[in-house]
Amino acid sequence: MTVDTMAAIRLTFFQECEEQLSEMELGLLAMDEGNADSETVNAVFRAVHSIKGGAGAFKLTALVQFAHTFETALDHVRAGKLTPTAEVMKPMLRAADVLADLVEASRDGKEIDESSYAGVAAEVKALTLVGGEEEAEEAIDFQPTVIDFGLPEIAAEPIAAPRHEYRIQFTPHIELYANANEAALIIRELSRLGEVEVNCDASAVPSLDAIDEAGAYLSWTIRLSSESPIEAVREVFEFVEGEADISIETDGQPDVSDADIAALLAQALGSAPATEPEIEVATPALENADVEIGSALSSVSPLAEIPAPETVVPAAQAAETPKAVAVPAQTTIRVEFDRVDRLINLVGELVINQAMLSQRVIEANFAASSSVVIGLEELEQLTREIQESVMAIRAQPVKPLFQRMSRIVREVADATGKQVRLKTDGEATEVDKTVVERLAEPLTHMIRNAVDHGIESPEARAAAGKPAEGTVRLSAAHRSGRIVIEISDDGAGIDRPKVRASAIKKGLISPDAQLSDSDIDNLLFLPGFSTAATISNISGRGVGMDVVKRSILALGGRMSIASRPGKGSTFSMSLPLTLAVLDGMAVSVAGQTLVVPLTAIVETLKPKKGEIHGLGSEGRVMAIRNTFVPLIDVGTQLGFRGTVADPERSVAILVETDGGARNALLVDSIQDQRQVVIKSLEANYGTVAGIAAATILGDGRVALILDVDALVTGSFESQSSDELRYGTGG
Amino acid sequence: MTQTILTVDDSRTMRDMLRMALAEAGFNVLQAVDGVHGLEVLQTTMPDVIVTDINMPKMDGFGLIEAVRKDNRYRGVPILVLTTESDAAKKMRAKEAGATGWIVKPFEPTKLIAAIRRVAA
Give the start-to-end residue ranges of the domains of chain A. Answer: 3-132, 164-310, 337-390, 398-576, 581-724
CA distance B15 to B32: 9
**B-contacting residues of A 181-220, CB under 8 Å?**
181-182, 185-186, 189
Label residue A310 by pLDDT band (50, 70, 90): very low
CATH 3.50.50.60 at A398-576, yes or no: no
Q: Which of A541, A538, A529 is nearest to A502 (CA)?
A: A529
Which residue did the predictor score with more confidence, A585 or A228?
Answer: A585
pLDDT of residue A539 exceeding 50:
no
Mean per-residue pLDDT for B111-115? 85
A147 to B106: CB separation less than 8 angstroms, yes or no: yes
CA distance A574 to chain B (A): 36
**Cβ pair A269, A289 in contact under 8 A:** yes
A259-274 b/e (C-beta count within 10 Å ≥ 16 → b): eebbebbeebbeeeeb
What's the CA dihedral at A302, A303, A309, A315 to 10 degrees?
Answer: 110
A272 DSSP assignment: S
Contact A180 B108 (CB under 8 A): no
* Torsion sign, CA atoms A404, A408, A413, A415: positive
Residues 6+ apart with CB under 8 A from A80: A317
Residues of chain A neighbouring B100 (CB-CB closer than 8 A): 179-181, 239
Closest residue of chain B to A56, computed from CA coordinates:
B106
Contacts by residues A535-544 (CB-CB < 8 Å, ≥ 24 positions apart): A535/A452, A536/A416, A536/A452, A538/A412, A538/A415, A538/A416, A538/A448, A538/A451, A538/A452, A539/A412, A539/A445, A539/A448, A539/A449, A539/A452, A539/A453, A541/A445, A543/A445
Q: DSSP of A201-237, one letter per residue? A: E-TT---GGG--TT----EEEEEEEESS-HHHHHHHT
Contact yes or no for A325 and B87 at CB 8 A: no
User: How far B62 CA lies from chain A's nearest CA (Å)?
Assistant: 8
Mean pLDDT of A178-204: 84
- Which H or E run contains B18? helix B12-24
Q: CA A649: distance to chain centroid?
A: 53
Integer angstrom CA distances of residue B73 from A596, B5, B47: 71, 16, 11
Test A147 with B89 for CB contact under 8 angstroms: no
> Residue A137: is its pLDDT beyond 60?
no
CATH superfamily for domain A3-132: HPT domain (1.20.120.160)
Mean pLDDT along residues A4-16: 82
Check whether A283 has a pLDDT greater than 50: no
- Window 158-187 of A, Cβ < 8 Å to B: 175, 178-182, 185-186
Interface contact A53-B11, CB threshold 8 A: yes
Q: Which of B55, B77, B119 comes nearest A185 by C-beta? A: B119
pLDDT at res. A489: 92
Distance (Å, whole) CA A145 – CA A155? 18
* Contact assignment for B99 to A179 by CB distance below 8 Å: yes
Give the angle subtended at the CA of A280 by the CAs of A50 and B112, to the nearest 5°.
Answer: 45
**To the nearest whole angstrom, how far is the Cα of B48 from the nearest Cα of chain A?**
11
- Mutate which of B19, B80, B86 to test chain A, going by most A C-beta atoms within 10 A? B86
| Chain B hits for A141, Cβ within 8 Å | 84-87, 104
pLDDT at residue A275, as a whole number: 38
Q: Per-residue pLDDT averaged across A693-712, rounded?
A: 84
Q: Which of A12, A13, A287 sits opposite B86 (nearest CB)?
A: A287
* Closest CA of chain A from B17, distance in Å: 7
Band of pLDDT at residue A264, cut at 50, 70 and 90: low
Element (H, E) at A416: helix A399-416
- Supply the mean pLDDT for chain A: 77
A594-621 pLDDT, tens per residue? 999 887 888 899 988 888 888 877 788 8
Please provide the size of chain B in residues: 121
Quick: pLDDT tens for A224-249. 888 888 888 888 888 888 788 888 88
Which one of A1, A48, A52, A179 would you mutate to disrupt binding with B, by most B Cβ within 10 Å of its Cβ?
A179
Residue A504 and residue A146: Cα distance in Å, rounded?
A: 62
Closest CA to A310 of A81, A40, A42: A81
What whole-number percentage of chain A has pLDDT above 90? 8
Q: How many CB pairs under 8 A join A and B?
A: 185
Instruction: Write out residues 425-454 of A within 8 Å (CB-CB) of B.
Output: none
* Contacts of the segment A399-405: beta carbons below 8 A, 24+ positions apart: A399/A22, A399/A427, A399/A428, A400/A18, A400/A22, A400/A436, A401/A436, A401/A439, A401/A440, A401/A443, A402/A427, A402/A474, A402/A476, A403/A22, A403/A25, A403/A26, A403/A427, A404/A440, A404/A444, A405/A443, A405/A444, A405/A447, A405/A474
Task: Report residue A254's pLDDT band, with 50, 70 and 90 as the boundaries.
Answer: low
- Candidate from A145, A321, A325 with C-beta closest to B106: A145
In this predicted structure, the answer to whether residue A721 has a pLDDT above a threshold of 60 is no
Nearest CB among B25, B87, B106 relative to A57 is that of B106
- The CATH superfamily holding the domain B4-49+58-119 is Response regulator (3.40.50.2300)
- Interchain contact, A149 vs B109, CB within 8 Å: yes
Cα–Cα–Cα angle for B102, B105, B111, nearest 5°?
70
Which residue of B7, B96, B104, B112 to mutate against A (max A Cβ within 10 Å)?
B104
- pLDDT at residue B8, rounded to an integer: 93
Predicted pLDDT of residue A704: 92
> Measured between CA atoms, how close is A452 to chain B, in angstroms?
39
> Which pLDDT score is estimated for A261?
54
Is the confidence at residue A158, as pLDDT, over 70? no
Q: Residues of B with CB below 8 A from A317's CB?
A: none
Q: How far, in Å, CA of B39 to CA of A492, rounded?
A: 57
Helix ranges, A79-213 (H): 86-107, 115-127, 174-178, 183-191
Q: Is B1 on the interface with A (CB under 8 A)?
A: no
Among chain B residues, CA nearest to A183: B119
Confidence at residue B3, expressed as pLDDT on a 0 to 100 scale: 87
Cβ pair B120, B3 in contact under 8 A: yes
Percentage of chain A beyond pLDDT 70 is 79
**Please, what's the largest Cα pairwise distance for chain A?**
122
User: Would you state the pLDDT for residue A258?
Assistant: 53
- Cβ contacts (< 8 Å) between B115 and chain A: which residues? 239, 300
By C-alpha distance, the chain A residue nearest B101 is A239
Contact status, residue B30 vs residue B7, Cβ threshold 8 Å:
yes
Q: How many Å apart are CA A625 and CA A156, to the nearest integer?
A: 90
At A195 the three-state DSSP class reads strand
Of the partner residues B17, B55, B111, the one whose CB lies closest to the CB of residue A9:
B17
The mean-pLDDT minimum among A228-237, A326-335, A418-427 falls in A326-335
A489-535: pLDDT as tens digits: 999 888 888 888 888 887 888 888 888 888 888 888 877 776 444 44
**Cβ-contact A412, A451 below 8 angstroms:** yes
Give A178's contacts in chain B (Cβ within 8 Å).
69, 75, 98
pLDDT grade, residue A2 (50/70/90)? Answer: low
Q: In the predicted model, is pLDDT for residue A281 greater than 70? A: no
| A356-414 pLDDT per residue, tens | 888 888 888 888 788 888 888 899 889 888 888 888 888 888 888 888 888 889 888 88
- Binary contact (A57, B12; C-beta < 8 A): no
Q: What is the pLDDT of residues A164-186, one digit of tens each?
A: 888 888 888 888 888 888 888 88
ipTM: 0.78
Tell if the CB–CB gap between A5 and B118 is shorter than 8 Å: no
Please give the Cα distance from A253 to A237 (Å, whole number).
19
CA dihedral sign of residues A477, A480, A486, A492: negative
pLDDT: is A455 or A726 the higher one?
A455
A637 touches chain B (CB under 8 A): no
Q: Specify the pLDDT at position A252.
A: 54
Give bridge partners of residue A356 from the DSSP assignment: none
Determine the distance in angstroms separating the CA of A315 from the nearest CA of chain B, rounded to an integer: 8
Question: Which of B13, B108, B117, B119 to mutate: most A Cβ within 10 Å?
Answer: B13
Give contacts of B 32-91 with A, CB under 8 A. Answer: 33, 36, 55-60, 62-63, 69, 75-79, 84-91
pLDDT at A652 over 90: yes
Q: Is pLDDT at A449 greater than 50 in this prediction?
A: yes
**B93 part of contact set with chain A, CB < 8 Å:** yes
Beta-sheet strands, E only, within A566-639: 568-576, 581-589, 592-597, 601-605, 612-615, 619-624, 627-633
Q: Are residues A180 and B98 in contact, defined by beta-carbon separation less than 8 angstroms?
A: yes
Cβ contacts of A325 on chain B, cutoff 8 Å: 57-58
pLDDT band at A138 (very low <50, low <70, confident <90, very high): very low
Among chain A residues, CA nearest to B68: A179
Q: Is A12 on the interface with B (CB under 8 A)?
A: yes
Q: Strand, helix or coil at B116?
A: helix
Contacts B95 to A, Cβ<8 Å? 175, 179, 242-243
For domain A581-724, the question of CATH label 2.40.50.180 is answered with yes
